Amino acid sequence: MANYQIITDSCCDFPKEMLEELNLKVIPLNLLFRGETREDSVSGDIKTFYDALRNGEAASTAAVNPEGWTSVIEPVLQEGRDALVIAFSSGLSTTYQSVVIAANELTERYPGRKVNVVDSLCASLGQGLLVWYACQKRSAGMDLEELTAWVENNKLNLCHWFTVDDLMYLKRGGRVSAATALVGTMLKIKPVLHVDDEGHLINVSKVRGRKASIEALADKVEKTGLPGENDTIFICHGDCMEDAQYLEKLLKERMGVKEVFIGYTGAVIGSHSGPGTLAVFFLGSKR
């Protein structure tokens, strides 16, 4: 058994059973919703959360601070083990910067221990897929330094392609202009976006209609996916399971993908992307 612990944050959007199966420690980001501070999650009342967003309710989000990271990492060090932390993209949150602060303080406090930190430059189940690969490599016997190097060397091959059903959520986050959101909504224009090498959301193209936007996601996997490296692909959705299943069908028919894991986009990311968000994550030649 590896003498190190893999740690990540809730923006990996893994359900509880997968966290347990992979032996992961996870710290939640928080959101303010209906006057209460809640922990980010893809479990419990996540469908109720998306229904509330559809009805015009909103939520604000908060990154993990250094103290929060310390509370998760320090017990691992006290057990005499090291840690590999794979954090939510620095292009979207200060969560990564906070874990760097915590890691520096902890390695001074525990000079015999290591806390390796990776900025995943990933989000949602893209971050989840990177962490999933790391767990497979750990199980295969990679030591801490080898695995840290593998994650750093492969994270920019972890492709994120997604579309949204309502441009107004991207407008609120400053991703598209008010005019673009209004005209796009009227004409049923759906954007196709990705996460770039700096971990930012980038609007790449536009198609007309929901079905065409889903097919465009499958096109991206088909054109840029690494041959033989994508037996497992992850899909996440903002409470639109039928669309996720249609995308799964396309991937299996076109590319012979063996396993597709479908999960919810968590509350923190979903509060910015909105209901109807659909994303696919895979290994590609480049992002």
**pLDDT given at position 175:** 60
Select the more confidently predicted residue: 169 or 247.
Answer: 247
Give the pLDDT mean for 29-43: 93
Residue 230: name the closest of 263, 258, 196, 262 by CA. Answer: 258
Burial 24-45 (b: 16+ CB within 10 A, else e): bbbbbbbbebeeeebebbbeee
Select the more confidently predicted residue: 151 or 207.
Answer: 151
How many angstroms separate the Cα of 79 from the Cα of each of 3, 28, 62, 73?
10, 22, 29, 10
Distance CA 201, CA 169 (A): 13
Tokens standing for residue 132: 């999933």
**pLDDT given at position 44:** 78
Q: Read off the pLDDT band of 43 (50, 70, 90).
A: confident
CATH topology of domain 4-155: Rossmann fold (3.40.50)
- pLDDT of residue 150 exceeding 70, the answer is yes
Q: According to CATH, what is the number of the domain 157-283?
A: 3.30.1180.10
Give tens-digit pLDDT for 204-237. Answer: 788 888 999 999 999 999 999 998 889 999 999 9
Give the pLDDT mean for 68-85: 98
Give tens-digit pLDDT for 97-138. Answer: 999 999 999 999 999 999 999 999 999 999 999 999 999 999
Give this prediction's pTM. 0.94
Q: Read off the pLDDT band of 177 (50, 70, 90).
A: low
Distance CA 38, CA 33 (A): 7
- pLDDT of residue 165 exceeding 90, the answer is no
What type of residue sits at position 33?
Answer: F
What type of residue sits at position 135?
Answer: C
- pLDDT of residue 179 exceeding 70, the answer is no
Give the pLDDT mean for 33-49: 92
Domain ranges of the chain: 4-155, 157-283
- pLDDT of residue 28 exceeding 90, the answer is yes
